[in-house]
Structure 1
Amino acid sequence: MNEIDEIIVTGGRPLHGSVRIQGSKNAALPVMAAALLSTGTSVLRGCPRISDVYLMEKILKYLGAETWWEGQDLYLDCSHADGTMIPECYSGKMRSSVILMGAMLGRSKKAQTGYPGGCVIGKRPVDLHIQVLRRLGAAVVENGGMIRASCGKLRGAEMFFQKRSVGATEQGILAAVLAEGKTVLNGCACEPEIYWLCHYLTGMGAKIRIRENGCICIEGVKKLEAGDGCIPPDRIVAGTYLMAAAATRGEIILENPPLEEMDGILDVYRKMGGQCRRVGGKLIVNGKNTGFPLELLETEVYPGFPTDLQSPAMAVLATIPGVSRIREKIFEDRYKTASGLCKMGAQIQIRDGVAVIYGGQPLTGCTVEAEELRGGAALVIAALAAQGITRIRGCCFIERGYEHICEDLTALGGLLIKDRGTL
């Protein structure tokens, strides 16, 4: 018996209606790690119920935490979360698991984990994570597929990141808040989830200051209280639904988008011909005039166009007549979605690290395979724009970051069914 894990989409219908944006995956995961730094019960309000969050919850339980949900609010009682080892069966499934090392060292002076896994989108080394932990006084050894770290006491230090890394920046923050003395982190990532982690930790009693140049200064404290804060709306989910409206030439309303975080996304959307206007806290999206190819779209660190929306943008550009180009500058192997789009009728070639899209070819439904989270969402977007029925297998990847993508898009007039069963 073969298990079925797919989303069935009947395409060819412009989206319309309104949708509320779920809590941010990329903000929730580091905040969950921050809960380890307190011996009380922390609350994440508006936390997304997605598989990555459930996996992080399992890891925290393995470390000794008690967890429970009340609606969309996640409670983490870390009174007895004194474990210091994350088994490979957990770490190998999610990249963000590695940031727990800084929190475990801050709490228990020891940490051990397997190498982090997640989506296969290119090289994602942990060298910067190890460097910042060593800089703060930890002894780190890589051996037998495991990373082991220990310290007598973490001590504040100055660190210069040679490359902007969201995860390594989070690692440094989590390790430094209970370290002795002052830590200065230079060359930090500036993504919104960094701010939200610092905001949550500050509510727990941490002393953190983010300078205008992105440098983060942390004065270590002896103890943190339990946290209680809201998870912000997910800018990548908002951008995904924006791209879906563009691909289907639809009109939708995003009820609570994080508008202050979306300038880079909206700039690209407008260059494609999409229109939008802000009314209060809502974004009124009109994708009817989407029809302009892009000479060159390059992914950038925040506040530029995010790598997580590169594949969804490729799906939109496949529907636009003319030649568009995309250069992926964050992860070198993030063009996997091109093969699935080509199977649906798109014409895309990868040349010297640039995706060349010969857009405007009719897309037709067929069976395609999601290989990673955002690529899976891109296939859903293409399926909404295609004629006929598309079966997207591997929807477990999509569920890593989207709480209810089928329900949301169905509420916007799409025809989507999630199928789980056996053949």
Structure 2
Amino acid sequence: MEKFVVNGGKPLFGEVNISGAKNAAVAIIPAVILCDEPCQIENIPNISDVSLISRILQQMGAQVRRINKSSLYIDPTHISTHSATTELVRGMRASYYLLGALLGRCGKAQVALPGGCNFGVRPIDQHLKGFEAMGAVTQLVDGAIIEADADNLHGEHIYLDVVSVGATMNIMLAASKAEGMTIIENAAREPHIVDLANFLNSMGADVRGAGTDVIKIRGVKYLHGITYSIIPDQIEAGTYMCAAAATRGCITVNNITPKHLESITAKLREMGVVITEYDEAIKIDATKNPLKRCNIKTMPHPGFPTDCQPQFAALLVSVPGTSIINENVWDNRYQYVSELVRMGAHISVEGRLAIIEGGSPLTAAPVKATDLRAGAAMIIAALEINGVTEISSIQYIERGYEDVIEKFRALGADIKKVYYAGDNEDELRA
């Protein structure tokens, strides 16, 4: 068993470099299945989700080789199966992108239902609606495996009943090699959707309108190999920005796209944090002004991202006054609240609302990461506390944050990973 031990109470100062976007990587790597030649993907985050999807592709027959810490070489030409049903697949939320990729490549797909973070129902009905409109017959087998089979995968006009990032990207994958044109209306607009479209287009696909609510994909017969660099991770950047504000520090976040962070920087500015933007960096200074309360409502992009909601909750518990969070994306994303309450936070949850009475000092307590972003929130809260906090279930955090210990240490945090078994405890060296 492993856990993080944080000795908090110190403001963060310095610079941090942001890795490639997890949410882009876990779709772009499966997208290589569609390619007829090898590809090299750069600026890959070195996280467990990337390792997992790489191993899944290897199980399917692809050659996957790590060139360096942030680059992968993938040769999909030897994939001869349309099936991905192993335990590795079940353990990963984003494994559903294999459906669209295999359907586009083989005309059929058999994929185990995904796992990953457990903070609400994760329906894929909009994904299946899109595949069925394009001529596929889908069915659930034994309650655990989705099968899709299309004699003739063809373009179609698809309207998504709800804005869904996963469905938008999955349909884009299948449509890239389908016959004719597919039009997705009410499409999601997140930066990683634009990144996936840019990746596909670089290989020779014809995807237009990504970043708007109408995306048009004209299917092509052949996709050629390329070298492609993934965009920076806006949520990782937002996490370090929150941590700097929560500790009343001052940091510079490098290797980012400031436009992708507009909803996050707007809220921090509203709270009194001084923000300075550069071409590919942003400075967060929380040393100049007392922080003020604020309200947050999560929305699909370009609204405030649900993936930064727990981190802001950890920040707002340190700010005097009543702040209200309105979670509009996931039904059950407040599981982390009980962990913050364990640390002394005053938070009440009423349906989709979390009401935070901020300003009371937190106290150290053993807590756990209930999901990826909740784990990041635990680190932020621990950094605020004058005392030692132990965080367990850190496998969730390592799903999506590269070198999280090293990056926080470089900013002056006292944080380490330890191995524990019974009463024995040893620090794990990087």
Q: Do both share a fold (TM > 0.5)?
A: yes
Counterpart residue number, 2:49: 52
Q: Secondary structure at the match of 1:262?
A: helix
1:348 maps to amino acid? I
State the TM-score, normalized to the length of structure 1.
Answer: 0.97
Alignment of 1:325-364 (within 5 A): 325-364=324-363
Between 326-335 and 222-231, the greater mean CA deviation after superposition: 222-231
Per the TM alignment, residue 29 of structure 1 is displaced from its structure 2 partner at its CA by 1.1
AA partner of residue 343 (structure 1): R
> For the residues of structure 2 that align with 1:58 and 1:91, how far apart are their CA atoms?
10
Equivalent residue of 2:15, what SS?
strand
Percent identity between the two aligned chains: 38
SS of 2:20's equivalent in the other structure is coil
Partner of 1:19: 16
Q: CA deviation at 1:422?
A: 2.5
Aligned to 2:428: none
- Give the ranges of 4+ consecutive aligned residues of structure 1 lying more than 3 Å apart after TM superposition: none
- The alpha-carbon deviation at position 212 of structure 1 amounts to 7.2
> Where does the alignment leave 5 or more consecutive residues of structure 1 unmatched?
none
Q: Which residue of 2 aligns with 1:86?
A: 84
Deviations 1:108-156 (A, max 9, x none): 1221112111111111101011111111111111121211111122101
Aligned partner of 1:291 in structure 2 is: 291
- Structure 1 distance, partners of 2:20, 2:120, is 26
Distance in 1, matches of 2:391 and 2:174, equals 40
- Aligned mates of 1:361, 1:414 — CA distance in 2: 22
Structure 1 Cα separation of the partners of residues 379 and 112 of structure 2: 32
Give the Å deviation of 1:319. 0.3
Provide the residue aligned with 1:210 in structure 2: 209
C-alpha separation between the residues in 1 aligned to 2:220 and 2:212?
A: 24
- Which of residues 126, 149, 166 in structure 2 aligns to 1:128? 126
Shift of 1:92: 2.2
Counterpart in 2 of 1:68? 65
11-20 or 105-114, which deviates more: 105-114
Inter-partner Cα distance in structure 1 for 2:123 and 2:91: 15
Q: Is the 8 A contact 1:39 1:80 kept in 2?
A: no
1:32 aligns to 2:29 (yes or no):
yes
1:193/1:279 CA distance change after superposition, 3 Å: closer
Residue 426 of structure 2 corresponds to which residue in structure 1?
A: none
| 2:4 corresponding residue in structure 1 | 7
The normalised TM-score by structure 2 is 0.95
Offset of 1:88 from its aligned partner? 4.7
Distance in 1 (alpha carbons) for counterparts of 2:395 and 2:211: 39
**CA distance in 2 between partners of 1:142 and 1:57 (Å):** 25
Q: For each residue in 1:210-258, what CA deviation from the matched residue of structure 2 results, as whole angstroms up to 9, or x when unmatched?
A: 1774211111111111232101110000000000001000000112222
In structure 1, how many angstroms separate the alpha carbons of the residues matched to 2:252 and 2:207? 36
* Structure 2: distance between partners of 1:188 and 1:279: 30
> In structure 2, what is the equivalent of residue 251 of structure 1?
250
1:412 and 1:157, CA in 2 relative to 1: closer, same or farther beyond 3 A?
A: same
Following superposition, the deviation at residue 284 of structure 1 comes to: 1.3
Identify the residue that residue 261 of structure 2 maps to in structure 1.
Answer: 262
For 1:78-157, list aligned pairs within 5 A: 78-144=76-142, 145-157=144-156
* Conserved 8 A contact 1:110-1:149: yes
In 2, distance between residues paired with 1:299 and 1:74?
33
Measured against aligned partners, the alpha-carbon deviations of 1:294-318 in whole angstroms (never above 9, x if no partner) come to 1x31101101110001000000000
Deviates more, 1:214-223 or 1:277-286: 277-286
1:158 lines up with 2:162 in the alignment? no
- Structure 2 gap ranges (5+): 423-430
Q: Residues of 2 paired with 1:66 and 1:422: CA distance?
A: 37
Bigger CA drift: 52-61 or 205-214?
205-214
Q: Distance in 2 between matches of 1:238 and 1:332?
A: 25
Contact 2:14 2:410 in 1 (8 A): yes
Q: In the TM superposition, what is the alpha-carbon distance from 1:421 to its structure 2 partner?
A: 4.3
Corresponding residue of 2:308? 309
**Number of residue pairs matched by the alignment:** 419
Q: Confirm or deny: 8 A CA contact 2:194 2:210 kept in the other structure.
A: no
- Indicate if the aligned counterparts of 1:35 and 1:227 stay in contact, CA closer than 8 A: no
One-letter amino acid matched to 1:37: L
* Residues 119, 333 of structure 2: 8 Å contact kept: yes
Out of 53-62 and 211-220, give the one that drifted further: 211-220
The AA in structure 2 aligned to 1:258 is T
Counterpart amino acid of residue 102 in structure 2: M
Residues 254, 283 of structure 1: 8 Å contact kept: yes
Structure 1 contact 238–257 (Cα < 8 Å) conserved: yes
Is the 2:64–2:73 Cα contact (8 Å) retained in structure 1?
A: yes
Report the 3-state secondary structure (helix = DSSP H, G, I; strand = E; otherwise coil) of the residue aligned with 1:325. strand
From the superposition, tell whether residues 81 and 231 of structure 1 become closer, same or farther in structure 2 (CA, over 3 Å): same
